[in-house]
Chains A and B, each alone.
Chain A
Amino acid sequence: MNATNAPAKPPFWRDPEKRALAFQIVFLAIVLYIGYSLVNNTMTNLASQGIASGFGFLSTNTGFAIAETLIDYNESSTYLDSFFVGLLNTILVSVIGIFFATILGFSMGIARLSNNWLISRLAAIYVDTLRNIPLLLQLFFWYFAVLRPLPNPKQAIEFGSNLFLTNRGLFGPKPIYEAGFGWVAIGFVLAVIGTVVLFKWARRRQEATGELFPVYRTALALLIGLPLVIAALNGFPMSWDIPVLKGFNFRGGMSLTPEFSSLVFALSIYTSSFIAEIVRSGILAVDQGQTEAAFALGIKPAWTTRLVVVPQALRVIIPPLTSQYLNLTKNSSLAAAIAYPDLVAVFAGTALNQVGQAVEIMGMTLAVYLFLSLTISFFMNWYNSKMALVER
């Protein structure tokens, strides 16, 4: 029992753990030093060249106008406001683009595997054509192809007497809520809660008795019917603001601009062609035996796809789908080419050129895209872990 029997403790510079730690500390120090000198160097050079710096510009007035804004904005708003206008427009177009890209992509991916020769060929042509044309070209195609044939506001195409299609956009009536509309909103919330309860009850009943309940149809009836009944009881507390042609353009109502529509079109169609391939590979990754087993149990083909194949395919689909969502969000920055006021167009474009503070503005813009990307991947990772195969 003396020290010589125990394995000799190596000197600390030979201890792999301590050595690794030391190297990491050195590495971190180098990285920090480089980061510090980059920032310091930039600041010094900006100062020596007489280029103004700092974030003071954010609270000054912009003096320029923006066409589409989700929040209140006018020429006397600040650069910080213009930042939020751009940010919200980017988020809006990304969310809507992701929504349509997912629906289109899943449909096309499944259609590509259809036993119907015509459907699968058409889906293949869709995917192969759209995947191979650069997004910017598609953007210009949609924008100018949509614009050219449309008439000017004075010769607008009318649908009924409330909907007008022109080369300035699609104009339609805008709802104006009156007193008593709050009850309708409450009714809708109740209908949503009712639907959730219904789903849970139907599942428990099915697990207990094996009987099916037509949940989808019931839920739909509930969601539409309940608010409608309440609205009728209150004498429909809503009126419509109809757009009217006044001067150069339609005023009032709601409008959908060609910039927004073509951006959503191009982004969702382009991305959907990639999603279609991801969905196809995901479905092909599910063993054929799963489908055969389901059929052997007498499950309907549509149910087999929905309940057996797609849930298993999702495990393969979600990780690459996340990158497509990230791509779509980042690609939305091409908006500036067709005059949609997204973050890059408004803030990194117009605002940057008015104040000229490239370092600060580009820094903020990069941080936003980083934040959006991290948010999407965080959410998708959470969904992925929820969808992952539960091993029993």
Chain B
Amino acid sequence: MIKKALLTTLGVALTSSLLMSTAQAGEVLDKVKAKGFVQCGVSQGLPGFSNTDVNGEWSGLDVDFCRGVAAAIFGDATKVKFSPLSASERFTALQSGEIDMLSRNTTWTQTRDTSLGINFAGVTYYDGQGFMVRKDLGVNSALELDGASVCTNQGTTTEVNLADYFRANNMTFEPVVFVKADEVVAAYDSGRCDVYTTDASGLAAQRTKLAEPAAHVVLPEIISKEPLGPAVRHGDDQFFDVVSWVINATVEAEEMGLTSSNISRLLVDSNSATPAELRFVGREGALGENLGLDAKWSYNVIRLVGNYGEIWDRNISGLELPRGLNNLWNNGGIMYAPPVR
């Protein structure tokens, strides 16, 4: 009896001390370097953003930013482990230290930034919430959706935007809310709902999974601003800087015309390179050192993952979405990196 009691006590004490050690996260960057890989939270399967192929290989825009961070830290874009997370699991996974960074088409909002103990490191995709309906419904505008059943995902900004939009326009709707995106698609496809709503990029991606993609139409209204980007935990500014400057570096490289195939020349040929290019690849200045990384960090990101335009073309162009706001600032969009200097 006493033995049993003591054993129980010991067990509880051990568990609680374990909890204490994980809760007090130290320097994330040092831990990542020590374990040799970045643990990255991604979505469970969204074509164009994070999806696995038949071999279980991940691809997508969100995935590429995880790889970019690994390339910056280790000079090796494969040093990433992916955790597929549902919308409702993602923040807890980041808060508890289960993942180092969250790169999962997550909207940057003030509440999330200020009350969840996380920081958004930048915007990798400017999106907005849209609606998709069957063409044969004969609906041309979201304002004709009064009384419709609307399928959506649980635990997203989408649910609140949806309610706001219908209320603002004096319309009613019936929400049908699922945990996983696949179930939303299946329910919409089997006719449970008139409308499927999520970010416009998500609609385009999920549309490819429908039985007859051509029988559906995305309505013109975009009802919200959804800046999507990676997030890290509060408390390690250095890791935060690494993630945000990896994003900036991809945008800057596109602006400078540096790509995964032409950047290598800057390492051998100094004469034709501008000072800005030499700074960018780490041959001048101390940008890498300041980040706590190798001088060639941004060179590695671009050589192994590519610039923003390359990442876009590789992943998003298959969805037939206009690049729109995600064009560079000097090309009609709002993608803008602070000077890399």
For residue A287, CB closer than 8 A to chain B, the reply is no
Given contacts A41-B20, A349-B154, 18 further A-B contacts (CB under 8 A): A34-B13, A50-B114, A50-B115, A50-B234, A63-B164, A65-B175, A147-B191, A168-B192, A247-B148, A249-B147, A249-B149, A249-B174, A341-B177, A349-B88, A349-B179, A354-B159, A356-B111, A358-B91
Mask for B146-172, Cβ within 8 A of A = 1, else 0? 111101001110011011101100000
Cβ B191 vs Cβ A167 within 8 A: yes
Interface 1/0 per residue, A30-67 and B, CB below 8 Å: 11001001100110011011111000000000011111
Instruction: Check if B173 is an interface residue, CB within 8 A of chain A.
Output: yes
The chain A residue sitting closest to B91, CB to CB, is A356
Residues of B within 8 A of A (CB): 2, 5, 9, 12-13, 16, 19-20, 23-25, 87-88, 91-92, 95, 111-112, 114-117, 137, 145-149, 151, 154-156, 159-160, 162-164, 166-167, 173-180, 183, 186-187, 190-192, 194, 233-235
Question: Which of A7-15, A295-303, A331-339 lines the interface with chain B?
Answer: A331-339
B178 close to A339 (CB less than 8 A): yes
Complex contact B175–A152 (CB within 8 A): no
Q: A23 near B: Cβ within 8 Å?
A: yes
Q: Is A159 an interface residue (CB 8 A)?
A: no
Q: Which residue of chain A has its CB nearest to the CB of B173?
A: A65
Chain A hits for B137, CB < 8 A = 248
Q: Assess A338 versus B183: contact at CB under 8 Å? Given A350-B177, A353-B154.
A: yes
Of chain A, the residue at the smallest CB distance from B179 is A336
Indicate whether A148 reaches chain B with its CB closer than 8 angstroms.
yes
Q: Is A141 an interface residue (CB 8 A)?
A: no
Contacts of B159 in A (CB 8 A): 64-65, 350, 354
**19 A-B pairs with C-beta separation under 8 A:** A23-B5, A34-B9, A49-B235, A63-B160, A64-B160, A65-B163, A66-B175, A75-B167, A144-B190, A147-B192, A248-B148, A249-B147, A337-B178, A339-B151, A339-B178, A339-B187, A349-B155, A350-B155, A358-B92
Supposing A247-B147, A352-B155 touch, asked if A49 and B234 sit within 8 A by C-beta, the answer is yes
Give the 6 A-B residue pairs with the shortest CB-CB distance, closest first: A353-B155, A49-B117, A51-B117, A45-B23, A52-B115, A247-B147
Q: How far is the CB of A174 from chain B (nearest CB, A)?
A: 17
A231 within 8 A of B: no
Chain A interface size, as a band, is: 35 or more
Nearest CB to that of A358 among chain B residues?
Answer: B92
Q: Bound complex: CA of A45 vs CA of B149, how far in Å?
A: 42
Which residues from chain B contact A338 at a C-beta distance below 8 Å?
178, 183
Cβ A356 vs Cβ B160 within 8 A: no
A375 to chain B, nearest CB (A): 27
Flag A251-280 by CB within 8 Å of B: 1 or 0 each. 100000011000000000000000000000
- Bound Cα distance A251, B88 (Å): 32
Chain B nearest CB from A344 CB (Å) reads 9
Q: Which residues of B are found within 8 Å of A63, using beta-carbon distances?
A: 160, 163-164
Please tell me if the beta carbons of A147 and B187 are within 8 angstroms of each other in the complex.
yes
Which chain B residues lie closer than 8 Å to A31 at the CB level? 9, 12
What is the interface of chain A, defined by CB distance below 8 A to chain B? Answer: 23, 27, 30-31, 34, 37-38, 41-42, 45-46, 48-52, 63-67, 75, 144, 147-148, 150, 152, 167-168, 246-249, 251, 258-259, 336-339, 341, 345, 349-350, 352-356, 358
Give CA–CA (A167, B164) in the complex, Å: 26
Tell me if A's interface is mostly helix, strand, loop or mixed: helix
Given A37-B16, A352-B88, do A51 and B115 touch, yes or no (CB 8 Å)?
yes
- Interchain nearest-CB distance for B92 vs A (Å): 5
B234 contacts A258, CB within 8 Å?
no
Once A67-B175, A167-B191, A353-B154 are accepted as A-B contacts, the answer to whether A144 and B186 lie under 8 Å apart by CB is yes
Residues of B within 8 A of A75 (CB): 163-164, 167
Q: Which among A23, A167, A259, A350 is the interface contact of B154 at CB below 8 angstroms?
A: A350
Closest to A149 in B: B190
Expressed in whole angstroms, the minimum distance between the Cβ of B239 and any Cβ of chain A is 14
| Bound CA span A247–B149, Å | 11
Q: Name the B residues within 8 Å of A147 (CB-CB).
A: 187, 190-192
Q: A51-B116, A67-B175, A338-B183 are in contact. Are A248 and B190 (CB under 8 A)?
A: no
Give the CA-CA distance A17 to B146 in the complex, in Å. Answer: 74
Indicate which residue in B19, B154, B183, B192 contacts A258 across the interface (CB closer than 8 Å). B192
- Residues of chain B contacted by A37 (CB below 8 angstroms): 16
Residue of B nearest to A145 (CB): B190
In the complex the two chains form, is A248's CB within 8 Å of B116's CB? Answer: no
Complex: A314 Cα to B52 Cα, angstroms: 53
Residue ID in chain A nearest B186 by CB atoms: A144
Report whether A49 and B95 are in contact in the complex, using a CB–CB cutoff of 8 Å: yes
Contacts of B190 in A (CB 8 A): 144, 147-148, 167
A345–B154 CB distance below 8 A: yes
Give Cα A227 to B94, complex, Å. Answer: 61
The distance from the CB of A6 to the nearest CB of chain B, in whole angstroms, is: 30
Q: Which residues in B have their C-beta under 8 angstroms from that of A349?
A: 88, 154-155, 177, 179
Give Cα distance in the complex from A259 to B187, angstroms.
11
Task: Give B40 Cβ to nearest chain A Cβ, in Å.
Answer: 20
In the assembled complex, the CB of A75 is this many whole angstroms from the nearest CB of chain B, namely 5
A248 and B88 contacting across the interface, CB-CB below 8 Å? no
CB neighbours (8 Å) of B149 from chain A are 168, 248-249
Residue from B9, B16, B151, B178 within 8 A of A38 (CB atoms):
B16
A41 proximity list for chain B (CB < 8 A):
16, 19-20, 23
Q: Which residues of A contact B148 (CB under 8 A)?
A: 247-249
Q: Is the CB of A34 within 8 A of B147?
A: no
Q: Which residues of chain A are within 8 angstroms of B2 by Cβ–Cβ distance? A: 23
Q: Please report the C-alpha to C-alpha distance between residue A213 and residue B179 in the assembled complex, in whole angstroms.
A: 56
Of listed B5, B156, B179, residue having the most chain A CB within 10 A: B179
Contact B176 A339 (CB under 8 A): yes
CA distance A337 to B183 in the complex (A): 7
Nearest CB of chain B from residue A342's CB, rounded to whole Å: 11
CA gap between A42 and B190 in the complex, in Å: 44
Given A41-B20, A75-B163, A247-B147, residue A259 in contact with residue B176 (CB < 8 A) = yes
